[in-house]
Amino acid sequence: MLLLAIGFETFATSLLKQSEQFTKAIPAVSCIFCYIASFFFLSHVLKSMPVGIAYAIWSAVGIVLISLIGLFWFKQHLDLPAIIGLGLIIAGVVVINLFSKTISH
């Protein structure tokens, strides 16, 4: 469920650029639908995972994925501080998943 929430959120965020400030109907409506789907799946995750941990993973993985989409799809440059920051975000998610007892696997 969390992977679906992350996937829909990442796709919705990439559609924000395509919607051109919600002036293009199909990307704008698709964006809204994807955000609703993302929150729907995230809400189901909260049945079995604390909200802080779920949100941390959801947002962190989304940030990294949308940064990669920006890099490869939209040809947006990432400088060294951005790459280091993304690495720290990834490290945080790994630490939570490997060592935290607040989530069940």
- Per-residue pLDDT tens digits for 29-48: 999 999 999 999 999 999 99
Tokens of 38: 């993302």
pLDDT value of residue 105: 53
With a cut of 50, list the residues of the chain below it in pLDDT: none
pLDDT value of residue 36: 98
pTM: predicted TM-score of the whole model, two decimal places:
0.85
Domain presence at residue 105:
no
Backbone phi, psi, residue 4, to 5°: -65, -45
Domain presence at residue 104:
no
**Which residue segment(s) compose the domain that 84 sits in?**
2-99
The structural domain count of the chain equals: 1
